[in-house]
Structure 1
Amino acid sequence: MSELIESITYHTTLEYFNWSTWYYHFPVDSATTKKLSSPDHKRVICLVNGEVKMNSALMPWGDGSYIMVNKKIRERLGLKEGDPVTLQLKKDTSEYGMPMPESLQVMLDQDDTGSNYFHALTPGKQRSLIYLVSKVKNIDKQINKALAILDHLKDVNGQLDFKLLSEKIKEYNNRSNLT
């Protein structure tokens, strides 16, 4: 992965939090955390065991941080609690902290009002919407979801409501199933 050429190689283990929301994570020591983050920038590109690339945040924890890891990635890599991992970490200097799907970018380029609402959202909410589009592999479905997102943002004057957004996406999915 050429984009990780100037990365820091870091050895850690998969650990478990007994929290209600997130359980599994990779601890990162304070020295590495300080090299890769600042008070206003905590996003990193993380390559796990040379196989799986994740766009992540260094979440503060004591003097260091941790990187959350989901079930899909743990299963893909066959990781269990306590397993050693090698991370290649690099500051993520991209605009959104994760790749922007072309389908969403095209919709934003074509819809000034929707784009203004999208760009007025917090970076975390922008990433959530980018993720909603990018997790869909079919390009037509990505476009459909992007249209639903922008329509929702215009309906609510940029005040993102995930419950209403979910309903809007279902509405758009039903429309596309009729054609």
Structure 2
Amino acid sequence: MKIKTFETSLQSSHSIIVPDQIANHYLNKGYKRVVVEIVFKEKSVQFHAALQKIKERYHITFNKQNQKKLGIFPSDYFTVRLLEDTSKYGVEIPEEFEAVLQSDPEALQIFDTLTAGKKRSIIYYILKIRNTQNRIDKALIITENLKLGIRDHKELIKRL
């Protein structure tokens, strides 16, 4: 796995600029999504992100929650490491959701027909749930709703 590192600061309140040479390295290899590790004062966070081109420059979203974890302010410089995102969905799937999908081939087949963004949205929703049993319960609700033909996010997460 190839790692590219650079130093930068916040471009806006929620993004950083990726040098063209580094962004193109990943894009030319077919990786629009990358794993990002940001290191600041011996603390680090790691997350999945998309390389987004905005006004001829490549950006990565760096949310306030991760900035706060590291104690980063707008004037701070920090180290960014990008790695190839080899995950199936562009984000690591919680093991509870993966187990539910594996136990229900029909739901897995339907889930795999969703757009990549919709899949990630569902996965991120489940990742926000801290309690293991609640993750399993919500995964079961989502898979049942998928089988009922529900695709709207707000309806997908509701128990019928």
* TM-score above 0.5, yes or no: yes
- State whether structure 2 residue 30 is matched by structure 1 residue 37: no
* CA shift for structure 1 position 94: 1.5
From 10, 17, 27, the equivalent of 2:17 is 27
Instruction: Give the number of the structure with larger relative contact order, counting CA–CA contacts within 8 Å between residues 6 or more apart.
Output: 2
* Corresponding position of 1:117: 110
* Corresponding position of 2:138: 145
Consecutive unaligned residues of structure 1, counting only runs of 5 or more, are 17-22, 173-179
From 153, 156, 159, the equivalent of 1:165 is 156
Identity, % of aligned pairs?
Answer: 31
Consecutive unaligned residues of structure 2, counting only runs of 5 or more, are none
Q: Distance in 2 between matches of 1:82 and 1:68?
A: 17
From 51, 56, 60, the equivalent of 1:58 is 51
Secondary structure of the residue aligned to 1:52 is strand
Q: Distance in 2 between matches of 1:99 and 1:116?
A: 18
Dislocated runs of 4+, deviation >4 Å: none
Q: Distance in 2 between matches of 1:40 and 1:62?
A: 21
* Corresponding position of 1:15: 11
Secondary structure of the residue aligned to 1:37 is helix
Q: Which has the higher helix share?
A: 1
With normalisation by structure 2, the TM-score equals: 0.89
Aligned residue pair count: 157
Secondary structure of the residue aligned to 2:8 is strand
